[in-house]
Amino acid sequence: FPALTQAKRTPLGHRLVEKGLLTEDQLDAAITNPVRRRLGHELLLRGHIDTTQLVQTLAEQLDMEWAPLNPFKLDKRLIDAVPRKVATHYGVLPAAEEGSTLVLASEGPVSQVSLGAISRQLKRPVRCRLAPQGRVTLGIRYWYPSLRQSADVHHMLEVLEQHQDDEDLLERVSHHQVLLGNLLQVRGMVPPSLFNQAMIDFDAERMSLGEHLISRGIITRQVLEQALDEQATEQQAAFAIAREVE
Predicted pLDDT of residue 6 = 43
CB atoms within 10 A of CB 243: 12
What single-letter amino acid sits at 212? H
Predicted pLDDT of residue 33 = 84
Predicted pLDDT of residue 5 = 42
Q: For residue 224, name the pLDDT band (cuts at 50, 70, 90).
A: very high
Which residue pairs, CB below 8 angstroms and at least 24 apart, start in 62-68? 62/109, 62/130, 63/8, 64/109, 64/128, 64/129, 64/130, 65/129, 65/130, 66/129, 66/130, 66/131, 66/132, 67/95, 67/105, 67/129, 67/130, 67/131, 68/131, 68/132
Average pLDDT of the chain is 90
Predicted pLDDT of residue 3 = 40
Answer left, alpha or beta for residue 91, where phi above 0 means left and psi between -120 and 50 means alpha.
Answer: left
pTM score of the predicted model: 0.87
Average pLDDT over residues 125-146: 96
